[in-house]
Amino acid sequence: MRIEKHHIDEHNHQLLSQHQRRLNCLSQEYAPIKGVLQKLLDFQVAIPSWALGTGGTRFGRFSGAGEPRSLEEKIEDVGLLHQLNRSSGAISLHIPWDIPTNVAQIKALAEEHGLMFDAVNSNTFQDQKGQSYSYKFGSMQHVDKRVRQQAVAHNLEVIHYGKELGSDSLTVWLADGSSFPGQLNFRKAFENTLESLQQVYAALPDHWKMYVEYKAYEPNFYSTTIGDWGQSLLYATKLGPKAYTLVDLGHHLPNANIEQIVSLLLMEGKLGGFHFNDSKYGDDDLTTGSLKPYQLFLIFNELVEGMDARGMNHARDLGWMIDASHNLKDPLEDLMQSVEAIMIAYAQALLIDRKALEEAQQNNDVAAAQELLQGVFRTDVRPLVAEARLRAGAALQPLQLYRSLGLRQQLIRQRGSKTVASGL
């Protein structure tokens, strides 16, 4: 499904005068905004292929309707998102949930929708039909070398698919760990995991990156073998220059200072990318910025400061990905809201008066530093983010247009109301 351009043009025409009034008001306060607009236009957030259907929990799954039945339909859904906000120009695949049976056809379809293939994700946290060895007690940490070899082989297969699709990074998240004291020898688990990751690392094409994703707990509830940023950094450092840490916002223990973690990983040159989402308790995978928008803003404040300190290109030098699961909302609406929250946090971080902030920090003027940050955080930058969409040929109000065109109803008519997407 494609949105005809005239629908977007009519929508923007109706909202133009109100939009310009709001943008002029903001531009008076934060001139020049030209540089910020270009950065917003260049910034693309990858959409997870496993979050285009309705997720569930162990207590139940309330299926949505018109869900994508194939990788082709998932690419169409991300294409629709990208038409609406022009900030979702990439899809991140999860193998084996999204094995591209006909690579040439899949690449052509993605190109037609203006989409790139971001990081490919391996899966050694579920047993597949016909699999020789179970991952019940882990994969790369496993005491049985045959299980570890099976996990390594799977990751090499994932790299193969990624190469064919034009991806240039592999994300490894391991559910490995233990749920009871005494169950695991932590040192041997680390050494087995490192040895296994080294075999995968050795198979990485030259320009590829490997993202080592950490998580505090779940599905194991006593120890996780890649359990926090320190452990992920240890692996990434021991593996080599192509290995980086991946920060999933929901993978921290309560009250962790994620913005400080981000600052230090950037300082070490070992921050690879993000899985954006939000949470109140655990790995809740909720809409980005829906619970802790100030934390998201503070994370982008450290990102802009740290990336500029290293002369990094904001759009290209880190992996920007969403990782969410939709139990209650229309997946496409949820993803539009997540992308909007990310663009707002980034735009606000770009408007911070860095010189004044540094001066306040140098003078230990705590109140002035707080006023500077909160002043920007309390600024409504939505007109700026909308202006970037307008200039990119997208919709001023994507969610509004998605609803006014009845796109979900159209998807249901095309696909039926009982379709179920592969993924979480």
Shortest separation between residue 246's beta carbon and ligand LRH, angstroms: 8
Contact 421, 8 (CB under 8 A): no
Contact 132, 149 (CB under 8 A): no
- 209 SS3 class: strand
Shortest separation between residue 207's beta carbon and ligand LRH, angstroms: 23
Structure tokens at 223: 């120890």
For ligand LRH, the binding residue among 113, 215, 270, 326 (CB under 6 A) is 215
Q: Is 314 in the site for Mn ion (CB under 5 A)?
A: no
Site string for ligand LRH, 254-283 (x = CB under 6 A): ---------------------x-------x
Q: Is 323 in the site for Mn ion (CB under 5 A)?
A: yes
Contact 303, 259 (CB under 8 A): no
Shortest separation between residue 129's beta carbon and ligand LRH, angstroms: 19
Q: Is 94 in the site for Mn ion (CB under 5 A)?
A: no
Q: Identify the burial level of 171 via C-beta atoms within 10 angstroms of its C-beta, where 0-12 means exposed, 13-18 middle and 19 or more buried.
A: buried
Burial state string for 130-168 with b = 16 or more CB within 10 A and e = fewer than 16:
eeeeebebbbbbbeeeebbbbbbebbeebbebbeebebb
Beta-bridge partner residues of 46: 90, 321
Site string for ligand LRH, 106-145 (x = CB under 6 A): ---------------x------------------------
Choices 63-71, 78-86, 244-252, 406-414 (CB under 5 A): range interacting with Mn ion: 244-252
Element holding 121 (H helix, E strand): strand 120-121
Gap between the Cα atoms of 46 and 51, Å rounded: 11
Q: Could you say which residues in the range 285-344 bind ligand LRH, by CB under 6 A?
A: 323
Question: Residue 169's closest CA among 218, 116, 222, 132?
Answer: 116
Residue with smallest beta-carbon separation from ligand LRH: 173
Shortest separation between residue 174's beta carbon and ligand LRH, angstroms: 9
Instruction: Name the residue with tokens 């179920």.
Output: 420
Q: Identify the burial level of 204 via C-beta atoms within 10 angstroms of its C-beta, where 0-12 means exposed, 13-18 middle and 19 or more buried.
A: buried
For ligand LRH, the binding residue among 43, 135, 173, 201 (CB under 6 A) is 173
Gap between the Cα atoms of 227 and 213, Å rounded: 9
Shortest separation between residue 369's beta carbon and Mn ion, angstroms: 32
Q: Report residue 142: phi and psi, to 5°.
A: -55, 145
Number of chain positions touching ligand LRH (CB under 6 A):
10
For Mn ion, the binding residue among 67, 76, 118, 248 (CB under 5 A) is 248
For ligand LRH, the binding residue among 50, 161, 276, 300 (CB under 6 A) is 50
Query: DSSP character for 49?
Result: G
Nearer to ligand LRH, 334 or 387 (CB): 334
Shortest separation between residue 405's beta carbon and Mn ion, angstroms: 31
Contact 89, 76 (CB under 8 A): no
Nearer to ligand LRH, 119 or 204 (CB): 119
Q: Which does 283 bind (CB under 5 to 8 A by kind): Mn ion, ligand LRH, none?
A: ligand LRH
For ligand LRH, the binding residue among 248, 302, 334, 387 (CB under 6 A) is 248
Does residue 383 have a cis peptide bond before it, meaning omega lies within 30 degrees of 0? no
Applying CB under 5 A, the residues found at the interface with Mn ion are: 248, 275, 323
Applying CB under 6 A, the residues found at the interface with ligand LRH are: 50, 121, 173, 213, 215, 248, 275, 283, 323, 424
